[in-house]
Structure 1
Amino acid sequence: MEGGGEALFLDGVGEVTVAVGDDGLSFQPLHQEVSSSCWSSIIMQPKLESKLKFSDVYAVELLEVGPVCEPWNARATVQGKINTEMNRFVIHTVTRPRKRPSPWVPCEYIFGHKDQQTCKTWVEHIKTCINKEQDRPKSLMVFVHPLCGKGRGCKNWETVAPLFERAKVKTKVIVTQRAGHAYDTLASLSDKDLKKFDGVIAVGGDGLFNEILNGLLSTRHTNSYPPTPEGFGYFRNNMKCQEHRNNDLSNSELTGDDANAISGSSNTPDDHEPLLSTTRSTGLDISSSDSSDEPCNGDQVPLVSFPNNWFRLGIIPSGSTDAIVLSTTGERDPVTSALLIILGRRISLDIAQVVRWKSSPSAEVSPTVRYAASFAGYATVS
């Protein structure tokens, strides 16, 4: 298997020598007399390459005994070796069309050998290699918006769900039932339960993604607030406001005065043209939920705070605009997004923190905070 490689049959190409390198597999036609035929077969099929990178392989599995087809345009074949029943295994990888490199599409390489144990050995070895890709998720929470984009949410998830299943990525799927469903679920989730997942996926549009973003950050974002605007003299300094915030995050219940301050109507004299609503049900107040329901003792699960390097957010586009996806992957393609998530690809995304200050003592609990990732996507140039 190492070094010089091993002879296998590649479906649609013929007999090849497969070698394992540090970063992937490579194969060459075994018989020089049919070399040009095999390479012509590869060239004619845009899906096939002569080297497979482990970073692009998302699954490998054994198949039942079956035929391995001859080269697509071969005139000469090795007698008795092609198009016969044999043991097989398949490598699932990704490829990009040559004329349009942005979308990713699944691609299969089917190899055959007369010995079943040889196929099993290859499968186990390739699994070991792709499992070394540490950035790949193992367990994800998935929120599906059933009404977004004219009802495309559920349909798109049905399309990409088999990819996650094949890649052995566990998914906990929640179909949202109302506005704020995703926010309430994540804001009330204990850190112990959140640590069971490697990330959260939105199957919807920009609105669902931002709702998930706020549900995660509302009680877990650790950075300080921006300076108090001039003229809002109630907060003498930013440290006092941060102290109130820390107190809120360490208590699971609010006092009567605090609750009244949070549930105040947006048309009261305390609110001067509010940027955001202050109701708890919409999830816009950061003190609406405790960050952990575990007791404070030596066995307590460490708090989850953001930003961090291990937890990911993903989006499978199903909305009407999909500005976030277009600004990151360049494609409104659910399959491309699903494959990028499965393979653990990452890209940094700027998040805007919007803080609304009040001018009355009722704002002492904390300012109203919202996070957004799609401001730039809706910007217009004048």
Structure 2
Amino acid sequence: MNKLPRREKARGRLTGSAAKALETYKKRDWSTMPVNGCWIADGKSLNMKVAHPIHGRPFTPELTLVIDGRSRYVVGWSLALSENAIAVADAYRYGMERHGKPLFVYSDNGGGETNKMLDADITGIFPRLGITHMTSIPGNPQSRGIIERLNGVIPRAIAQKFPTYNGLGADRESVRVTGRTIESAVRAIENKRDLKAVQKNAIVKLPSWNQLLDVITEEVEKYNTQHRHSELPKIDGHHLTPAEARRLALETEGDDIEYLTEVELRDMFKPEQVRVAQRGWLELMNNQYFSEALINVDGEEVRVAYDIHDASRVIVRRMNGDYVCDAIWNGNKQAAIPVNAMQDAMEKRRIRRLKLNDDHRREIEAEGRPVLESKPVQSFSEFLGTPEPVPVEKPFFFLETDRDEYLRKNGTHHK
């Protein structure tokens, strides 16, 4: 067995990405790709706890990073409650606002990366921007090695700056005690009870949302400007930093990047959906929008662009992109105020989490029930049960002397 190579010893025992990690692979030459030629994106849960921006309870956030393949420069990032299309689009918007538009984007097949909001024909953000979206083969993370290696650097450096770090190398007992004490302190605050000394010491260890954002900004800047990347060229015996590599490539090859204006950024990153105009009205996410100009496209399919944070108005265009009007919210049937996309997404997430809790509760209740439900037996006769009375058949007599004889032998209780 010792003479066999690792690949042969693992054959049949490992499958998927674990097996492919033992095979030969091809290295991509990113030096032939221009700056902003291809951006690679991925989301990763941070190994730490942070105060939820809404209710303040500790939870694990999701960090989405976007990196330029040529220079290894982190062009964009976003922090969200979970990986979803809104978080991914925000990371791309952040990058394009500061560094221009890429030719290609490359990602995995996760729900946040591939969806109608980003990829749908005509209405998707990428098709409207003229960006080609490529995805990796499922179960083959080696094809996105650049972003996978990055996920082992920046997210870990961020999480390790906080006492609530619970990743590799963290003491399990300290993580358990700290987490339990923080939960206790949060419950005491919610119930308006005075905090004990140990609870006060624990609650200050839980970082706020803004504290985490500041550290992410600091670590991304540090990576871009100070990290000597081993895959980048050497100058004077030192590997270049991503910022140096990006600047050098633009100086020597020219800056052919397409930069978006403020108006383009505002409109292009508004998600779109197809709706049918009906007598001046259209419906989007249970909100009703009205404009006199919608009568000109009555009964037609139109493209409706909306702001994920502001549901007070939408932009309506024909399917070929011609502007029709701005439709104003009015007459919502289900709420006193218009519900924006962010609120809608958070509500759907709340419902999914409640459903998981209900399933868990039913499982716990099932464990508490006995296999056979029955009342205890008090006596042996009760266990056997009470026999049904056998009906007594009345005798028939032809003569009165026969009846008197029968009663004399069997008693006078028969009638």
TM-score range for the pair, normalised by the shorter chain length: under 0.3
TM-score, length-normalised on structure 1? 0.25
Answer 1 or 2: which has greater helix percent.
2
TM-score, length-normalised on structure 2? 0.24
Rg larger for? 2
Answer 1 or 2: which has greater strand percent.
1
